Structure 1
Amino acid sequence: MNTFSTSDAQVLVLGATGKTGRRVLQQLQARGVRVRAGSRSAQPAFDWELPATWAGALAGCTSVYVSYQPDLAVPGALETVSAFFADAKRANVQHIVLLSGRGEVEAAQAEQALAASGVPWTVLRASWFAQNFSEGFFQEPLQHGGMLALPVSNVAEPFVDVDDIADVAVAALTEPGHLGKLYELTGPEALTFAQAVDEIAQASGRPLQFMPVRSEAFRDEMLKAGTPAEAVDLALYLFATVLDGRNTRPADGVQQALGRAPRPFAAYARAAAEAGAWTAPSLG
């Protein structure tokens, strides 16, 4: 059982400006939890690439939400998070909630490193984020050109709403019963990328399309657009591995953790469309 008490706890939220971390931070603040943002711009600053910043960010914190940037699949990530877990142990952190990636070998290795660290843990093993279409690099081609071209086949993915991830993370950080639990977080149904774009087209009222392309063409276009080569390589690696059908079956982690069903992709798409995520830019 968690020993969490809002009167004496302080939570460090890493990736505090990212898709999940921002939401976790906001929810904890709304609940009156003492919270510290972990980012390069925060005070004290936190930088994954500067281990000397870790101790200051950890000082006085009883729990940590760990979202590793850019992804646990990148080279060197395992060594980095393992070193951080050791620092957290030395700082007497009582609970780490780790955001992991479903179907990623490297993410599974990070989960194992956390379990071996001696720090009580909860793992959130998430599928691809629905918000990649509205807050990630899928958004711009849909918003500006109306066409999303990716090197993926007709494989379905149970895209998870990051609001569901944040809800589970906050529950794990503030409520008893989540220590030692691994939650596989997905949406309630699996959609192909073409089906997901169709849902977005219906929600936004725009004639959006999806087109599968070869990896070489995708790489050339991304580099031409100024995307860093390492980011392109990571995307291609994930497209080729995680999106091979291994993750198609939806999981029940949201139901296990929260006692409710996850939000359907169509509901996410309607909300994002209403917020203007895919509104065509004005020509004026």
Structure 2
Amino acid sequence: MSEPLTTSEQPTTTGQSATTEQSATTEGPVLVTGATGKSGRRVVERLRARGLPVRAAARGGEHLFDWTDPATWDTALEGARAVYVVQLDGTRLVRPFVARAVRHGVRRIVLASGRGIDDPRYAKDSGGILEGIRDSEAAVRESGLEWTISRPGWFAQNFSEGFFADAVRAGELRLPAGEGAASFVDADDIAEVVAAALTEDGHAGQVYELSGPEALTLADAAATISAAAGREVRYVPVSFDAYVADLVRQGLPPADAQAFADVLEPLRKGTDAYVSDGVPRALGRPPRTFAEFAGSTAAAGGWHT
């Protein structure tokens, strides 16, 4: 998701010193929900690298946490003083979870949200996701806790461990994105922003829109990956209807195929192409480039077939 940069928060200056970390974390562990996901597992890695106690929670993680089973919420929250909330799309479970976090004495909360939730032009919402995300943001803002909201755009890692990974390994991206572009953000940058907001002072009340430093079309992305991986990866634009039909032929129900294709609308329309200032504001440095992401992924064998 993405949204126009309309927030009024002023830039903050933050540091990496151990003293700033003590205020939120020495009284208890940091709870990371969605700890096996793209951002969550990277947040866990960064917090543990700092020597901080972490409760890595997920349905299949170290600590059992299931959004659809509120019985798992209390054991996850017990004693925690900071929480990273990776919400379950299409639900309104964050509001009751935040209320329970307040009762448990949590002091600081970082919400994973997304660009575009306030922009009706951004994308179609046939899956009914946006209202739930808006309610989640409102719940966090109204909680009385020290809150920060992370609003990343399209993850660069969608090409290596997400939507497009199998197609990249096969050498051909067939997508209904036309010549649209996106400012793909590296999940490592997202995790560093979240880790800073969880452990350092100076981030309370901030909404960080996160993007990479430049917009790339899918043809640009494919060319960059090709150069890094040492083999050709082609982008082949297809029509929206043809793409939906392909998904249905692959066994996806028509409604799900339509919703999945709608997710790609920001790429097709270029509404995720603008560059945001969240990474520099939160970390005091520029975001990683897509070329840096592609190079490190290829070096780590991320696109071996």
Flag whether TM exceeds 0.5 (same fold). yes
**Residues 1:92 and 2:117 aligned together:** no
Match of 2:240 in 1: 215
Aligned-residue offset at 1:229: 6.5
Question: C-alpha distance in 2, partners of 1:191/1:182?
Answer: 24
Aligned-residue offset at 1:237: 2.5
Distance 1:104 1:6, change over 3 A: closer
Which residue identity lines up with residue 221 of structure 1 in the other structure? D
Larger displacement relative to structure 2 (18-27 or 33-42): 33-42
Distance 1:51 1:6, change over 3 A: closer
Aligned-residue offset at 1:25: 0.5
The count of residues paired between Structure 1 and Structure 2 equals 273
Q: How does 1:97-136 map to 2 (within 5 A)?
A: 97-105=110-118, 106=130, 107-136=133-162
Match of 2:48 in 1: 29
TM-score after normalising by structure 1:
0.89
Which residue identity lines up with residue 96 of structure 2 in the other structure? A
Question: C-alpha distance in 2, partners of 1:225/1:276?
Answer: 28
Q: Residues 115-140 of structure 1, C-alpha deviation per residue, up to 9 Å, x if partnerless?
A: 12332210111010000000113010
Verify the 8 A CA contact 1:103 1:242 in the aligned structure 2: no
Question: C-alpha distance in 1, partners of 2:250/2:36?
Answer: 24
Match of 1:205 in 2: 230
Question: C-alpha distance in 1, partners of 2:254/2:56?
Answer: 29
Which residue identity lines up with residue 85 of structure 1 in the other structure? V
Match of 2:126 in 1: none
Verify the 8 A CA contact 2:182 2:267 in the aligned structure 1: no
Aligned-residue offset at 1:221: 2.7
Aligned-residue offset at 1:93: 1.1
TM-score after normalising by structure 2:
0.83
Larger displacement relative to structure 2 (110-119 or 124-133): 110-119
Aligned-residue offset at 1:219: 2.6
Aligned-residue offset at 1:171: 0.7
Which residue identity lines up with residue 192 of structure 1 in the other structure? T
Verify the 8 A CA contact 1:2 1:178 in the aligned structure 2: no
Aligned-residue offset at 1:34: 1.0
Distance 1:44 1:167, change over 3 A: closer
The unaligned stretches of length 5 or more in structure 2 are 1-19, 119-129
2:34 to 2, 6, 15: 15
Which residue identity lines up with residue 161 of structure 2 in the other structure? E
- The percentage of aligned residue pairs carrying the same residue is 45
Match of 2:81 in 1: 62
Verify the 8 A CA contact 2:176 2:268 in the aligned structure 1: no
What secondary structure does 2:208 align onto? Answer: strand
Question: C-alpha distance in 2, partners of 1:231/1:89?
Answer: 36
CA RMSD of aligned residues (A): 2.1
